[in-house]
Amino acid sequence: MSMRPIPTDIAWMVIVALLWAICFPFIAIGLPDAPPLLFAALRAFLAGGLLVLVCIALRLQGTYQLNPRSLLHLGLIGLSYTALGFGGMFLGAGHLSPGLATVLAGTQPLIAAAIAAIWLGETLKAKGIAGLVTGFLGVALLSWPGFGGNNDGYLLGVTWVLMAAIGTAIGNILLKNEAGGSIAAPMAIQLLFGGGILLLASAIAGEHWSVNWTVRFTGSLLILSALATAAMIFLWFGLLARAPLNQLNIFSFLTPVFGLLIGFLFFSERLQLIQALGILIVVCGIALMQGSRAIQVSVAEAGDER
């Protein structure tokens, strides 16, 4: 495999970055019509259902072997990637502007690198350590406004979105072995698992299961489920099967840029100076984390990426 993404892959990666960036804006659009955890569960169920239909249409049902071990693995992915990831996003979106939330969620590669260093034994080089420290310093600056005055909601929003980033990072690490295979079936199963957990969490939290099926809510749910989840999954894992992860991750820079641009154009989003500085530092941290000079992976994993 070529170590440089071909132009077609670059174009698809730009689209993936845009699909990631539209999540928080469309969550914000739909939140007035449904409680957050129920909304998140509906997204997971609909996206999982769409992937099931794809499996049936393409006759992919038999390409993934289910057994107790794989079900446990998918259950853990559903808990982290979908339940924690979606739940944190939808709960945090009610307290933060879409652009700022997108930047915070963009710290997921930093968190994944830290977890991989501890969990998988990947060695962080000096550049990688500098990226982690820089990125988390930026997060601290972004969180700073929540420590003053009556800004408890802001700090709570930051906490929820960072929880989502942690869940997504863990889920992505657990999903690493799925890239290159038939991703539709396992992702459908984990989405349904995660949707069930979110529905249970919604009941425990005492949310009222009433949804105003307005045009804006229905549209936001369809876009979040079909485009920002199901389609994005196919694109992302298809790209992972063809190009090295550290090359594709460079395009993660575009997600916060797209998010801030959407927030500025459509949500009249304006940032405090300390928030703007925090965003700049987070992006610098992500930049330092890119490439093979930041992380030393195992020989086996390097072979997988090729």
73-115 pLDDT per residue, tens: 999 999 999 999 999 999 999 998 898 888 888 788 778 777 8
More confident residue, 63 or 302: 63
State the Cα torsion 55-56-58-62 to the nearest 10°. 70
Residue type for 303, please?
A: G
The predicted pLDDT at position 151 comes to 66
Specify the DSSP class assigned to residue 179.
T
**What's the rounded Cα separation, in Å, for the pair 40 and 53?**
20
Tokens of 269: 């989003």
Cβ atoms of 135 and 107 closer than 8 Å = yes
Query: Which one has a higher pLDDT value, 193 or 289?
Result: 193
Neighbours of 11 (CB within 10 A): 11
pLDDT of residue 52: 92
pLDDT at residue 154, rounded to an integer: 87
Is residue 95 packed enough to be buried (19+ CB in 10 Å), middle (13-18) or exposed (0-12)?
buried
Q: What pLDDT, on a 0 to 100 scale, did the predictor assign at position 1?
A: 43
Other residues' Cβ atoms within 10 Å of the Cβ of residue 141: 18
b/e per residue, 56-93, with b = 16+ CB within 10 A? eeeebeeebeeeeeeeebbbebbbbbbbbbbbbbbbbb
**Per-residue pLDDT, 109:** 74
Q: pLDDT confidence of 21, banded at 50, 70, 90? A: very high
Q: How far apart are CA 128 and CA 286, in angstroms?
A: 9
Q: In the prediction, which pLDDT does 17 show?
A: 87
Residue 218, C-beta contacts closer than 8 angstroms, at least 6 positions apart:
none
pLDDT given at position 287: 77
How confident is the prediction for the chain on average, in pLDDT? 83
CA 137 from chain center: how many Å? 21
Q: According to the model, what pLDDT value does residue 51 have?
A: 93
Name the 3-class secondary structure at 296. Answer: strand
Per-residue model confidence (pLDDT) at position 162: 93
Mean pLDDT over residues 228-242, rounded?
84
Cα–Cα dist 78/44, whole Å: 10
pLDDT category at 191 given cuts 50, 70, 90 is very high
Q: Give the dihedral of Cα atoms 34, 40, 281, 236; nearest 10 deg.
A: -140
Give the C-alpha distances (Å, rounded to integers) separating 204 from 83, 201, 210.
14, 5, 15
**Structure confidence at residue 131 (pLDDT):** 80
Report d(CA 227, CA 18) in Å as an integer.
10
Q: Please state, in angstroms and rounded to a whole number, the distance separating the CA atoms of residues 33 and 16.
A: 27
pTM (2 d.p.): 0.84
Q: What is the mean pLDDT of residues 53-81?
A: 85
The pLDDT of residue 91 is 98
* DSSP tag of 248: H
* pLDDT at position 209: 94
Query: Per-residue confidence at 139, pLDDT binned at 50, 70, 90?
Result: confident
Confidence of residue 122 (pLDDT cuts 50, 70, 90): low
Q: What is the 8-class DSSP label of residue 144?
A: G
Residue 29 has pLDDT above 90, yes or no: yes
Mean pLDDT, range 201-215, rounded to an integer = 97
pLDDT in tens, 245-271: 656 666 776 787 788 889 888 888 877
Between CA 21 and CA 289 the distance in angstroms is 20
